[in-house]
Amino acid sequence: MTVELFREDAYQRECEATVVAVNDRGGIVLDQTVFYPTGGGQPGDVGILRADDGREISIATTVKGQGAEDIVHVAAEGQSPPAPGTKVTAVIDWDRRHRLMRMHTAMHLVCACASGGGGGPSRSRPSPLSRAPAGSAPRRPHGRCLPHPVP
């Protein structure tokens, strides 16, 4: 099982870890990671694994393993994975992660404004308290949508 450090601190950029397994396709499983895996419409993190001997393995993406308890770091083409037991420093591409975090938040705001609140038709419904009386203009959540783009 991979400890998901990103759940405790989304701003943590690196961590020390140990390679616990390499799957039959060359995917690298660590005992803990700051790499967010692809899921929920969000792309997986990219970055590097820096071995104690100084070798760097480029990570092209990160995905969930066979069981959701493992996170698999997919090495870039042509890179050989480190052996199980190797100590590494896992380093995400922070600039990319931060852009994705901001986009994710902005999409929640856009969806809330467009749907009148809530998370969309498949996840939640607007509260009966937020519905406008018959014949009146519909209310927006919190009175109005943001008038400018989120930075």
pLDDT digit string, tens, across residues 62-95: 999 887 679 999 999 999 999 999 999 999 999 9
How many distinct structural domains can be found in the chain? 2
The better pLDDT of the pair 125, 96 is held by: 96
Q: The domain containing residue 40 runs over which residues?
A: 3-92
Picking from 46-55, 61-70, 132-141, which range would have the lowest pLDDT averaged per residue?
A: 132-141
Give, rounded to a whole angstrom, the gap between the first and last alpha carbons of the chain: 36
- Long-range CB contacts (< 8 A, 24+ apart) of 43-46? 43/100, 44/74, 45/92, 45/93, 45/96, 45/97, 46/92, 46/93, 46/96
| Position 150 in a domain | no
The average pLDDT across 28-48 equals 92
Q: Between these two residues, 112 and 30, which has the higher pLDDT value? A: 30
In terms of domains, do 82 and 18 share one? yes
pLDDT of res. 13 = 95
